[in-house]
Structures are given as structure tokens and as C-alpha cells.
Amino acid sequence: MGNPMRIRAVTADGNTTVKVLMSHPMETGLRKDSEGNLVPAHHITTVTATHNDKTVLTAEWGAAVSQNPFLEFSFAGGAPGDKVSVHWVDNQGDSRTDETVLK
């Protein structure tokens, strides 16, 4: 189970902007540690964002997304009390879901 994400969602003029910071090493598999051993690839592969039960974004990622990834997108709608949830899965089978409630 990964570390918690930071999700901010702000609704203005009928549109909701979502910003997500995820805690993940995003190792490419090409980096060597201090002993000179290759650090195995470890990166998020799929991200899904939902607004209440509707999918509002899906992303497929390689290892070239930066460490501790940042993602910003926006969708139509959003009302106070609505849930915005973000879920990721990585190549080592780890996953994480966090959510925020619109104000």
C-alpha cells in the first residue's frame, strides 16, 4: 500500500479542476544505487479518476513520468458533497486509492 496522495479539487463556473500529487519513486529500472546495483523498475502504470461513480480520466504511464507524480485536469460539473477519487496501480502490483469531497 503506497503513501497517501494529495488531492485538491476546486469547482468554479460549473467546472471542477483536480490536482493530484502522488507519492511514488517512479524508478525507471536504469538507475544504479550507491553500491552500483540496478534499482528495479517501479512505476505507476495506470491512473483512474472518478467523480462520484463516473470515470473522468484514465491515464497509462511509463517510467518517464517524474518521481512523486503531479497531475492536473478538469471536468464539467461538480457540486458540494461530491466525491472525487483517484486510484493508481503500479508495475509491482501495488495500488492506492484516495478521495476528496468537493466543498
Partner 1 sequence: MTMKTLSGTLLATALAMAASSATGAEDDIFAQYRAMFGDDNPAELTEFQGEDLWNEVRGPKQVSLEQCDLGLGAGVVEGAYAQLPRWFEDAGKVMDLETRLLYCMETVQGMDVTELRQHPFSEQGQPQTDLEALSAYIAAQSKGMPIAVPQDHPAERAAFEMGREQFNFRAGPHDFSCATCHGQSGKRIRLQSLLQLNEPEGAKASFSAWPAYRIAQGAVRTYEWRMADCARQQRLPGLVHGSPAAIGLITYLGVLANGAEMDAPGLKR
Partner 2 sequence: MNMHRRSFLTLSASVLAVAATATMWPLRAMAEWVRPKAAFEAKGMDDTFAAMGGTPEASTDIDFMTPEIAENGAVVPVTVTSKIPGTTEISILVEKNPNPLAAIFVFPEGTDPSVKTRVKVAQTCNLYAVVRANGKLYSATRETKVTLGGCGG
Binding-site ranges for partner 2 (CB under 8 A) = 15, 28, 30, 45-46, 48, 50, 53-67, 69-77, 85, 87, 95, 97
Site for partner 1 in 35-64 (CB under 8 A): 39
State the nearest-atom distance from the C-beta of 24 to partner 2, in Å.
12
Which one among 1, 14, 30, 34 touches partner 1, defined by CB under 8 A?
34
Smallest Cα–Cα separation from 18: which of 87, 89, 66, 67? Answer: 87
* Contact partner at residue 7 from partner 2, partner 1, none, CB < 5 to 8 Å by partner kind: none
Q: Taking the alpha carbons of 75, 86, 73, 29 in that order, is the dihedral positive or negative?
A: negative
Smallest Cα–Cα separation from 15: which of 72, 57, 77? Answer: 77
Could you say which DSSP state residue 73 is in? Answer: E
Which one among 29, 72, 92, 94 touches partner 1, defined by CB under 8 A?
72
Output the nine-digit C-alpha cell for 74.
478538469
Return the residue matching grid coordinates 524508478: 27
Could you say which DSSP state residue 36 is in? Answer: S
Which residues lie near partner 1 (CB under 8 A)?
Answer: 3-6, 8, 10, 12, 17, 19, 21-23, 25, 27, 31, 33-34, 39, 66-68, 70, 72, 103
